[in-house]
Copies of this chain bind each other. A is one copy, B any other.
């Protein structure tokens, strides 16, 4: 894979709207042990889910992860996944000082 091809995939290739976005914003705690490995594992599992459309993520002072999904059913199913629930619990108890999750219906998309 060339650098160019790798770059392009950083912006999710989503279909024509409507579809859904989960906007997850977080502040890390002082105890990040195990976080990176879990984040990679959760991304690998999410990619296998039916209805998963893509993911974009960056962290500086705040972390932003936006995942895209076909419909609310796909989001609800992933939220209840047993491995994902374990990760959510560790996130609440250990990794995140604060977080916010927003479920949004994407109505329009444009760009190049």
Contact = CB atoms under 8 A, between A and B. Distances in A.
A100 interface: yes
B21 A102 contact: yes
B112 A7 contact: no
How many copies of the polypeptide does the oligomer hold? 2
Chain A interface residue bracket vs B? 35 or more
Main secondary structure, interface of A, reads strand
Contacts of A107: 103-105
A60 B62 contact: no
Nearest to A105: B105
A61 interface: yes
Given A8-B27, A57-B64, 14 more contacts: A11-B26, A11-B27, A11-B62, A11-B99, A12-B25, A12-B100, A57-B60, A60-B60, A64-B64, A64-B66, A100-B111, A101-B111, A103-B108, A104-B107
